[in-house]
Chain A
């Protein structure tokens, strides 16, 4: 069963505006959490990941994400969006927390459009 939800299929923001992409997971224990980005016609690239510790994690390209246990969320944020950030963003979870036979489960993705 799908255990990670991205409620927003498509988001449009203006260049320079702030961005928040939502991700919720459903499971008993806190999984390992990831955000990946897919540019048009490309494979996916890891932006950041959370295993434990500080709930605010920094990633590449100026992105950050905050883990909130009480809300079972791991939302991705960026203070000022650039046109090159237009892409599809995927949240992913690993409930096996890095075990040898662990698997990644991806959300359905959020397509980000950036207006100039």
Chain B
């Protein structure tokens, strides 16, 4: 099993550009989530999904969109990147709920100029 994979590992964008961060898991997990990690702020939940076709907002959803068309994939879209979105992004998955062990991907380091 590859676990949770994220692409790309690094990305530099200009303000206003759009892009999609990819996340995939091969563990047949229902629960998937996206976090951003900023220095001194810990991890903050952006969006999460409890299964294909079901998503909900976390603490900091503004500026981000998600969809869950399959169990395996949970992409995160930045519609119009802003410097405030410079961060490290982590995708995580778990069996069914947030209290099941979360398996984290390696992260994507995004810089918005």
By a beta-carbon cutoff of 8 Å, the part of chain A in contact with chain B is 6, 9, 32, 34, 36, 41-46, 49, 51, 90, 94, 96-109
Contact among B40, B45, B56, B99 with A105 in the assembled complex (CB-CB below 8 Å): B45
Residues of A within 8 A of B48 (CB): 103
Residues of A within 8 A of B50 (CB): 100-101
Contact with A along B34-67 (1 / 0, CB 8 A): 0100001111110010100000101100000000
The segment from B13-21, B70-78, B101-109 found at the interface with A is: B101-109
Residues of B within 8 A of A97 (CB): 99
CB-defined A-B contacts under 8 Å, sample of 5? A6-B42, A44-B90, A103-B58, A104-B98, A108-B42
Chain A binding surface SS class: loop
Contact A51-B99, Cβ < 8 Å, known A43-B106, A101-B50: yes
By a beta-carbon cutoff of 8 Å, the part of chain B in contact with chain A is 4, 33, 35, 40-45, 48, 50, 56, 58-59, 90, 92, 96-99, 101-107
Smallest Cβ distance from A26 to chain B, in angstroms? 15
Residues of B within 8 A of A99 (CB): 97
Interface centre among A9, A46, A90, A96 (most CB of B within 10 A): A46
Residues of A within 8 A of B103 (CB): 43
Residues of B within 8 A of A49 (CB): 99, 101
Contact among A43, A96, A101 with B107 in the assembled complex (CB-CB below 8 Å): A43
Contact among A36, A42, A100, A108 with B41 in the assembled complex (CB-CB below 8 Å): A108
Once bound together, how far apart are the Cα atoms of A66 and B108, in whole Å? Answer: 34
Decide if B97 touches A102 in the complex (CB within 8 Å). yes
Decide if B99 touches A94 in the complex (CB within 8 Å). yes
Decide if A32 touches B106 in the complex (CB within 8 Å). no
Decide if A106 touches B43 in the complex (CB within 8 Å). yes
Contact A107-B99, Cβ < 8 Å, known A43-B107, A101-B50: no
